[in-house]
Amino acid sequence: MARSKISNTSVDAVSDNGSILWSMVHGEQLEFPVILDFITIATTSYAYEAVVVEALNLGDGEPPQLPRPSGVQTVLTVRLANWRGVWEALGAYDQEDFVLYNSIYYKLTAGADYVSATTPDLDSNWVVFRANTAYIQFPATLTDTWTVKASANLAVYGFFELRVTDTDNTIFVKTWKPLRGLVEILYSPTAAVADV
């Protein structure tokens, strides 16, 4: 299949496998769900690596075409919901556990050691869940040590990529790179003012 250039930000990550644009304000700490269509259940049977590499920002606010030589490289946290298998009426479940019930996956939205005989399809504490979901976490400090900072009218950029590797395959280890593109960081007045 043809691949988009990494600096092409016109593609929607949800509906197309081309390059994407994550747009954030400096100091935001955000987590984004990503659906991995090439696997059935996102578990620790796969290795997940998400990174942002500082781009060669020229201070003109335009998306750069090159990474900054010796620029900051940040490994992002990739979080998974906790796969617990088939739902059991007397099972104790925690927030972010997900189960299979009646051929549908459900995730517990709140609670610790939650026990209920009410089936997930009738219990409002459970929501339908896509089992092939991983969560990418962007820290508030992502651009703190970058050479060029965002200003009121100019954004700064980094290059993003997610890699997923099948670690359980002994015949041929497959590696996918389902998401790649730019991270755009915008100026933040609250980040510029000392916290009170």
What residue ranges of the chain have pLDDT lower than 70?
Answer: 1-3, 9-18
DSSP H/E element including 80 = strand 73-80
Query: Residue 15 has what pLDDT?
Result: 47
The C-alpha atoms of residue 148 and residue 194 are separated, in whole angstroms, by 20
> Do the beta carbons of residue 146 and residue 71 sit within 8 Å?
yes
How far apart CA 77 and CA 138 sit, in angstroms, is 7
Helix (H) or strand (E) holding 4, with range, is none
Choose among 121, 70, 125: nearest CA to 100: 121
Q: What is the pTM of this model?
A: 0.85
pLDDT for residue 107: 98
pLDDT at 13: 47
- Using an 8 Å Cβ cutoff, are 94 and 108 in contact? yes
For residue 176, the surrounding DSSP H or E stretch is strand 175-186
The pLDDT value recorded for residue 187 is 93
pLDDT of residue 10: 62
Q: What is the pLDDT of residue 1?
A: 47
